[in-house]
Structure 1
């Protein structure tokens, strides 16, 4: 069966589409949000994280979602100590608490800040929480990199964007799309690496300090992948689609 492949940093997860069947057309829907991990002091969350949680819940309630992809840096600034760390409750459970999110699984990657703490504790917490599923190593160098190619491990051409708390979209000369979604908690207005991105690759960039951040909503059908960047204030910032490709 043919499949779409979602490459999150260097973590590859193959997502097979449902087999062709009668209407309705099968789709896969999910939210991708990175760098949402609050702060290590009371109240252990930020205004941006709270705003993102509220808008993610509203989006899921209206559009639906099969899961939420957490792209790393889940607990600023030095991860968690153990599976009983109070940050799980104060930064995660208490924030993403809307009824629309309670039964949706989270697939969680560990970022560099998580690795300053105990990543094994985040994996262990997946046995405590009914909705949290830890899936592995840090997602360097990008927050999210999604494309419609076969399941090959690809190294990003855009490592200069790795430290930015932004949401942006790049597409190369082969039609491969790169989705960066790292604005769940902080925003970085810097464009110091802009000239290092190949000409015509950058299609969308958003890093306004005045913004409440945002996330990405992805819908995959047998024909295409649709990617929508959503600001936490409720505005759709940018939308694009990638056609399905055949296995090589």
Structure 2
């Protein structure tokens, strides 16, 4: 089996060509949520086929925390789509958690949040993997035919590399990177709701925003 040289934390290792970053980190006992490959943030599922430098980032790092919260936002959108007839807006990580915007003909109640949170926990326990899918612009348009807000975003970024992330039956237009699996999300709390205009423009449709926070270990929510 061909070998490649990988530098991690200033140490050089010889590893089998074609192994994923996650496999390499697991074998070395390195905990990470995401990695940088020669300076670029990538999924842990990325396969290593040449000599390179890898940097691991866990939840205590700014990058690791941001990726973790972003993945939690995808989990939120998946749960909401399972329970309600919505159109997807955006769902970024923020300093203290994440949010996702939805177009729906109602406001989310506290009971709705309770149901969504329980659905998120149910999905997380399934240990679903985040799968990156790269597509052509034409294929992306077909995939987003029922998501008008995402189609608008696609048009703005069609000159760039187009990628989606699949999670179970849920798929979302996204650059990534993401965590490896929903099983890494151990604690979830939906915090509040608000309204927001699409793209912060009052001439655009009003969306319903849900804020939340999540953690990779139990007991962190109380801290």
TM range, normalised to the smaller chain?
under 0.3
TM value normalised by structure 1: 0.23
Larger Rg: 2
- The structure that is helix-richer by fraction is 2
